[in-house]
Structure 1
Amino acid sequence: MRALRWPATVAILTLAGLSGFARPALATPVVTWAVCPEDAQVECGKMRVPADWKDPYGSSIELQMARRKATDPARRIGVLVVNPGGPGGSAVNMALDGDFFSPEVRKRFDIIGLDPRGVGRSAPVLCSQTLVDAKPSPLVGSAAGFAALADYNRRLAADCTARSGPVVRHADTGSVVRDVEALRTSLGEPKVSIFGASYGSLIGELYGDTYPGTTRAVVLDSVMDHSVDVDTFLTQETASVQDSFNEFVTWCARDARCVLRGRNIPQLWANLMVRARAGTLEDPYDPPAKLGEWELISAAFSAFYDPQWFSFAHYLEDAAYPGKASGRAAVPPIDITPNSFPAVFCGDWSLPVGDFTAYRKRIDALAKIAPQVRASPIALSAAAGCVGWPSPPATPQRRLAPAKMPMLLVNALHDPATGHAWAQQVAAQLGPSARLLTYQGWGHVAYSHSPCVKTAVERYLIDLTLPVPGATCPAVEPEPFGIG
């Protein structure tokens, strides 16, 4: 995670057929627009593209998008393609959110959110709810458990493919980049600007790398490094989550409003992990359901995103001292559920973890650098989720070429999902045309947490002015919200 009304109709590709006969020209995909039912000020669009760009005359899928037109057409700069990441977040919803960007950005750009293939409204990957709920913990402890993990992933891929079709095998970000270029061509725009947050930063990286001549500006917020190998991926991601845990402990010691202030949080956490391992830890917000180790670690990881330190402290207190929290009504099960994460990740990453012995060594090594969190939930879920996945990655890792236009990278110093090290590494790959702005605070997607970052990002988008080398934005202390 903008445009002329009429689509281009010129042919953009001619393929030679068998026996020397020319095949029909592949026409530019056409976007059809209508008023969005959610907001009369926004247009919703549809566009059909090949399911497999390598087979443009094969089956097709429908992509959906939303366009919030520039409110000052006389000063319009062009199109800003936005994506909130995930993978699985809806770019359509991001465009429908009229408050995410400032009024000045909304004046100057047509803001377009294109749901990536397999996500949201764009040929979503749908899978059996029961099968998704049966996902085994990545913290497998035996060779049999590792084999069961691979078998589960194969069954999940088969189930999702049966329900969703060819998009499951072609949900990689390389294909999404081709979709964005098809959208640009259809709109008749000479260049586009991109704001990609979190996993959406990968769209911005690969689009700028693949189509530098049609890229005006790229903002990468909370940066994915798509060049790292499996061990660097696991290690750096896990170190980032442990860093966020340490920052939570430090915050609780200094903020009198933390309900755990004065307590030994690492020891409290260790006790909860023992109970989780034994199967006796009750979910304080959904009793009598039990929390396993993986669920407890994942709860911490989720809390560090904003970060939601106040509510997470309450959560730990309620888990440590049951009986205080009120339970929630159970949610009725449904038959199918969106589940694009494995299809996207396994399409983008080569993460060979080896056999069970090698996999277990990796998990044990991660626990040594992260004694509380043990492993990054997102990284280990990705690596474990691709064990036995039937399709090889279509867009595996590679280094980026030096940027041919000014690019802005922003990242929190303490980000649990995309560590600051990744932003530094990607900035080094992109070279002198790219600039890294560091938010010295916490959480994921710095644009949402820092007025300083927001100002710098929007100045760059509008007039392409980059911050000075080494620029930083001060930390903003989190406020209590979401308690109860």
Structure 2
Amino acid sequence: MLFLRAVLVVGLTAGLGSGVLTACTADAAPSPSLNWQPCAEKTEFDCGTVTVPVDWSVPDGEKIDVAVVRDRADEPSKKVGTLVSLPGGPGSSGVDEIIKGGKFSAELRGRFDIVSLDPRGVKRSHPVRCDAGLATYRPNLVPELGGRIDEVQSYARDLAASCRQYTGALMDHLDAVSVARDVEAVRVALGVDQISTYSRSYGTMPAQAYAELFPKHLRAMLLDSVDDHSLDGRAFLASEARAGKDTFGEFAAWCARDPQCVLHGAEVDRIFGEVYAKAARGELRDLTDATEQMGPFDLNAQIVQRLFRPEWSQLATDLEAWADQPAGSPLAPATPQRQGKPAPMPEIIVCSDWRFDIAGQDQWTQLWREQNDNSAPLRAHFAWGAGSLCSGWPIAPPNPAHRPQIVDGPPVLVINSLHDPATPYEWALSVATNTPRATLLTYEGWGHGVYDRSPCTTNAADQYLINLTIPQTRCPAA
């Protein structure tokens, strides 16, 4: 999961349910085409669109255009094939990633046509839009600070109604299975029999769905920082919370041993606790805009974001600044206000792939206590917000959680860091165990996203994608 804009960095990455795909193999119904043109932003890349059904079960129904980009192989005579790169998020633009230079090595760019897309609901591909006022509102997600699950769920229903108003029928068809079918339409339009896929974070959701639906059209599948779509709600939230505890603990241990940390010699957990208490009282301010109040989830989100790369030195500097910040006057609680105009909100796509049932305040409070225990000293992971909000989402997820069901798929490579704040290492272990012909490569370091972590991880991934060989299963921390 590349994670979520500020309003839902408070928490959209979870929810839960159970179920399975209705088929393990399928064929794309339409025969789409691509009319490549030089991209307006950078003419050395090719841009085009593929027309797909909003609802793949009604192929002759309403259509949308999915934006596609291609970086042609630099060494055509040595070309292996087509590599489809699936972006994370949810809400990240694959077109932007390629146009801005991508993440891939010169060797990989020489051997593949690299193709990516803006998934349905994202940027150039009929973006999800919701009421601007509701999109920027932050509900109270902390039971011990007066948060009420009925209010969170009521807000979620109002938000969904506004999204449907501005986005239309696509709101019912934003799930990873629909994206996988879009990818198959792209393959057909490209006129190739097989594709290889690279996916990172939330992009591993449609990648796994593609392997379930179209295994014979898949040459290779590399899952980088993988989502485990087999978990129920409680297990999902608990594992995310443990990932927060683990990665923050790694940061604190670095601070204790490295004199370059500005908090070296201090009790990092205690300092965080003081800063969190200030946020809980409504007295904390954003470091870049003193007029912006930071609540507990804003604080947690910024801290976890620093753990993505990781940026330990900057995180220490931030904590010191927050600790020294004069307490601001608490602001009056905000209320959701419609503005009558739309704003992009693709991160809400997460509720299309997960289900999280919360029956009432008592259950929500119990789950909160478990979050506190599992994530100490952080108290919660930002995934908590997703579970809370998605529990009130009125659109049933078309792609409920289930174990991978891949028949006759290719060898699969899963790569994950040992200390990942967003897609925990335990998820990678589970996916590798439950996916036929899968091998796990462990990066023995920190951060979210592994392909470009070190020469070791890049080389191992490249050798798999080019030669279908896996030279090693562990890479040391860089």
Shared fold per TM-score greater than 0.5: yes
- Rounded to whole Å, the distance in 1 between the matches of 2:376 and 2:146 is 24
Match of 2:4 in 1: none
> Does 2:254 correspond to 1:251?
yes
CA contact (8 A) 2:71 2:113 kept: yes
For 2:47 and 2:165, the matched residues in 1 are separated by: 28
Number of the residue aligned with 1:180: 183
After superposition, what is the alpha-carbon deviation per residue over 1:190-218, rounded to whole angstroms, capped at 9, x for unaligned? 00000000111112211112211000000
**Aligned-pair CA distance for 1:401:** 2.8
Change beyond 3 A, Cα 1:290–1:99: closer
Q: Report the Cα distance in structure 1 between the residues aligned to 2:453 and 2:421, rounded to whole angstroms.
A: 14
- CA offsets per residue over residues 59-81 of structure 1, 9 Å max, x none? 11111011011111122111111
- Secondary structure of the structure 2 residue equivalent to 1:47: strand
| 1:473 match | 475
Distance 1:48 1:351, change over 3 A: same
The Cα offsets for residues 388-440 of structure 1, whole Å up to 9 and x where unpaired, read as 21110101111113563111000000000000000000000013x21100001
Query: Which of 151, 155, 158 is 1:155 aligned to?
Result: 158
Aligned match of 2:285:
282
> 1:272 and 1:391 mapped to 2: Cα distance?
37
Structure 1 runs of 4+ aligned residues shifted over 4 Å read 141-144
Question: Partners in 1 of 2:118 and 2:30 — Cα distance?
Answer: 22
- The partner residue of 2:389 within 381, 385, 397 is 385
Aligned-partner Cα distance in 2 for 1:372–1:450:
30
In the alignment, structure 1 residue 405 sits paired with structure 2 residue 410: yes
CA distance in 2, matches of 1:118, 1:99: 21
Write the distance in 1 (CA, Å) between the matches of 2:144 and 2:240.
21
2:129 paired with 1:126: yes
The CA distance in 2 between the partners of 1:258 and 1:129, in whole Å, is 40
> How far apart, CA to CA, are the structure 2 residues paired with 1:27 and 1:267?
59
Q: Match for residue 327 of structure 1?
A: none
- After TM superposition, the structure 1 = structure 2 runs for residues 213-232 of structure 1, keeping only pairs within 5 Å, are 213-232=216-235
Alignment of 1:316-395 (within 5 A): 316-322=319-325, 336-342=342-348, 344-377=349-382, 379-395=383-399
Tell me the residue number matched to 1:206. 209
Q: Which runs of 5+ in 2 are unaligned?
A: 2-26, 327-338
Q: 1:99 to 1:274 in 2, by over 3 A?
A: closer
Q: Relative to structure 1, is the Cα distance of residues 249 and 186 closer, same or farther in structure 2, using a 3 angstrom cutoff?
A: same
Q: Distance between the aligned counterparts of 1:223 and 1:275, measured in 2? A: 35
Q: Which residue of 2 aligns with 1:429?
A: 434
CA distance in 1 between counterparts of 2:316 and 2:125 reads: 38
Q: What is the deviation of 1:168?
A: 1.6
Q: Does 1:449 align with 2:465?
A: no
2:239 paired residue number: 236
Q: In the alignment, does 2:269 pair up with 1:269?
A: no
| Residue in structure 2 matched with residue 8 of structure 1 by the alignment | none
Opposite residue 240 of structure 1, the aligned amino acid is A
* Matching residue's letter, 1:435: T
Indicate the SS of the match to 1:256: coil
CA 1:175–1:247: 2 relative to 1, 3 Å = same
Q: Cα offset for 1:249? A: 0.2
1:440 to 444, 452, 458: 444
Structure 1 unaligned runs (5+)? 2-11, 14-25, 324-332, 477-484
SS in 2 for 1:359: helix
Aligned partners of 1:442, 1:103: CA distance in 2, in Å? Answer: 24
Deviation at 1:288, TM superposition (A): 3.3
Indicate the SS of the match to 2:416. Answer: strand
Q: Which amino acid in 2 is paired with 1:460?
A: Y
- Give the equivalent residue in structure 1 for 2:13: none
Contact 1:31 1:46 in 2 (8 A): yes
1:396 aligns with 2:386: no
- Do the aligned partners of 1:119 and 1:340 also contact (CA within 8 Å) in 2? yes
- Asked if residue 304 in structure 1 is aligned to residue 307 in structure 2, the reply is yes
TM-fit CA distance, 1:84: 2.6
Q: Looking at both structures, which has the greater relative contact order when contacts are Cα pairs under 8 Å and sequence separation is at least 6?
A: 2
Q: Per-residue deviation at 1:387? A: 2.2
- Residue 7 (structure 2) aligns with: none
TM-score normalised by the chain length of structure 2: 0.89
Aligned ranges for residues 11-90 of structure 1 at < 5 Å?
27-90=30-93
Q: Radius of gyration: which is bigger?
A: 1
SS in 1 for 2:89: coil
Using a 3 Å threshold, how does the CA distance of structure 1 residues 231 and 99 change in structure 2: closer, same or farther? Answer: closer
Q: CA RMSD in A?
A: 2.0
CA contact (8 A) 2:463 2:471 kept: no
Q: 1:55 to 1:350 in 2, by over 3 A?
A: same
Instruction: Indicate the SS of the match to 2:415.
Output: strand
Per-residue CA shift, 1:287-340, capped at 9, x if unaligned?
A: 1322111111111111111111111111111111127xxxxxxxxx99543211
Question: What is the deviation of 1:453?
Answer: 0.6
The Cα of 1:242 is off from its aligned counterpart by 0.9
Are the equivalent residues in 1 in contact too, given 2:34–2:48 (CA < 8 A)? yes
Sort the Cα spacing of 1:27 and 1:405 in 2 relative to 1 into closer, same or farther, 3 A.
Answer: closer
Distance verdict in 2 for CA 1:412–1:164, change over 3 Å: same
Distance (Å, rounded) in 2 between the aligned partners of 1:144 and 1:69: 51
**Cα distance in structure 2, aligned partners of 1:421 and 1:352:** 23
Number of residues of Structure 1 aligned to a counterpart in Structure 2: 441
1:460 is aligned to 2:464: yes
Does the aligned pair in 2 maintain the 1:222–1:444 contact within 8 Å? yes
Letter in 1 for 2:215: P
- Cα-to-partner distance string for 1:115-164 (whole Å, 9 max, x where unaligned): 11001211110122221111313224489721111111111111111111
Structure 2 CA distance for aligned equivalents of residues 142 and 283 of structure 1: 20
SS in 1 for 2:435: helix
Residue of structure 2 in register with 1:5 after alignment:
none
